[in-house]
Chains A and B, each alone.
Chain A
Amino acid sequence: MSGFLGYLLQRLIGVMVTILFVAITIFLMVRILPGDPARVIAGVLASDQDVARIRTQLGLDQPLWTQAGIFLNDLAHGDLGTSARTSDPVTQEILARLPYTALLAVVSLAVAIAVGLPLGALAAARAGSLADLAVSALVLFGISMPVYWLGLMLIILFSIQLRWLPAAGASGPLSIILPAVTLAAFSVAFIARITRSSMLEVLRQDYVRTARAKGTPARGVLWRHALRNALPPIVTIIGLQFGELLGGAILTETVFGWPGMGRLLVDSIFSRDYPMVQGLVIVFALMFALVNLAVDLLYERIDPRVRYG
Chain B
Amino acid sequence: MRRRSLTAFVAVVFVLFAGTALAQQTFRIAIGVDPDSLDPAQGTTTTVDNVLDYMVQPLVTIDGTGKLVPDLATSWSTSADGKTLTFDLRQGVTFQDGTAFDASAVKWNLERLLDPKVRVPRRGQLTVIDSIDVVDANTVRLNLKQPSPALVGALSQTTVGMLSPASVDKDGNSYENIVHPVGTGPYTYTSRQKGTNVVVSRNDAYWGDKPYYDKVVFQVVPEATTRESLLLAGQVDLIILPPTSDLPALQNNPRVKVLFGPSDRTIFIAINTSKKVLDNKLVREALNYAVDKQAIIKGVLFGAAEPMDAPMAPSLFGYKKIGAYPYDPEKAKQLLKQAGVDPSQITLHMISPTGRYVQDFPAAQAIANYIRDIGFKVDVRTMDWPTYVGTITKPQAENTTELHLLGWAPSFMDASQQMQQFDCGQSPPNGLATSFYCNQDVQKLLDQASSEVDVQKREQLYQQASQIIWNDAPWIFLWVQSFPMAYQANLTGISGLPNEKFYALYAHPAN
Contacts and interface: CB of A to CB of B under 8 A. Distances in A.
B233 interface: yes
A26 interface: no
Main secondary structure of the interface of B (DSSP, over half): loop
Contacts of B225: 152, 255
Contact of A160 (B229, B385, B410): B229
Given A36-B390, A159-B229, A170 B124 contact: no
A257 B389 contact: no
B62 to A, nearest CB: 17
Interface residues of A, number: 54
Nearest to A273: B36
Nearest to B429: A48
Contacts of A35: 384-390
A57 B194 CA distance: 23
Interface stretch (B214-222, B368-376, B448-456, B473-481): B214-222
Given A43-B44, A87-B42, A257 B385 contact: no
- Pick from B42, B122, B222, B233 the residue with the most CB of A within 10 Å: B233
A53 B408 CA distance: 23
A87 B37 contact: yes
B223 interface: yes
Contact of B232 (A43, A50, A160): A160
A40 B196 contact: no
A39 B195 CA distance: 23
B193 A39 contact: no
Interface residues of B, number: 53
Contacts of B386: 33-37, 39-40, 270-272
Contacts of A36: 386, 389-390
Contact of A54 (B119, B220, B235): B119
A263 B222 contact: yes
Interface in B161-186: 176-177, 179
B221 A163 contact: no
B195 A264 contact: yes
Contacts of A53: 116, 119
B352 to A, nearest CB: 15
A75 to B, nearest CB: 23
A57 B120 CA distance: 12
Of listed A35, A97, A168, residue having the most chain B CB within 10 A = A168
Contact of A96 (B194, B387, B410, B430): B194
Contact of B223 (A85, A159, A254, A264): A254
Contact of B431 (A40, A48, A57, A166): A48
Interface in B115-156: 116, 119-124
Contact of A259 (B124, B196, B391, B432): B196
A267 interface: yes
B400 to A, nearest CB: 13
Given A54-B121, A97-B194, A167-B230, A44 B222 contact: no
Interface in A232-278: 254-257, 259-260, 263-264, 266-267, 269-272
Given A48-B430, A163-B234, A259-B220, 19 more contacts: A35-B385, A35-B389, A40-B385, A40-B389, A42-B121, A44-B408, A45-B417, A47-B124, A54-B121, A86-B37, A87-B176, A100-B195, A152-B229, A159-B230, A160-B233, A168-B30, A168-B226, A168-B229, A254-B223
10 contacts: A34-B387, A35-B385, A36-B389, A43-B45, A44-B432, A57-B119, A96-B195, A155-B226, A155-B233, A171-B196
Closest CB pairs A-B (n = 6): A35-B386, A259-B195, A47-B124, A43-B44, A257-B221, A159-B233
Interface of B: 30, 34, 36-37, 42, 44-45, 116, 119-124, 176-177, 179, 193-197, 219-223, 225-227, 229-230, 232-235, 384-391, 393, 408, 410-411, 417, 420, 430-432
Interface of A: 33-37, 39-50, 53-54, 57, 85-88, 93, 96-97, 100, 152, 155-156, 159-160, 163, 166-171, 254-257, 259-260, 263-264, 266-267, 269-272
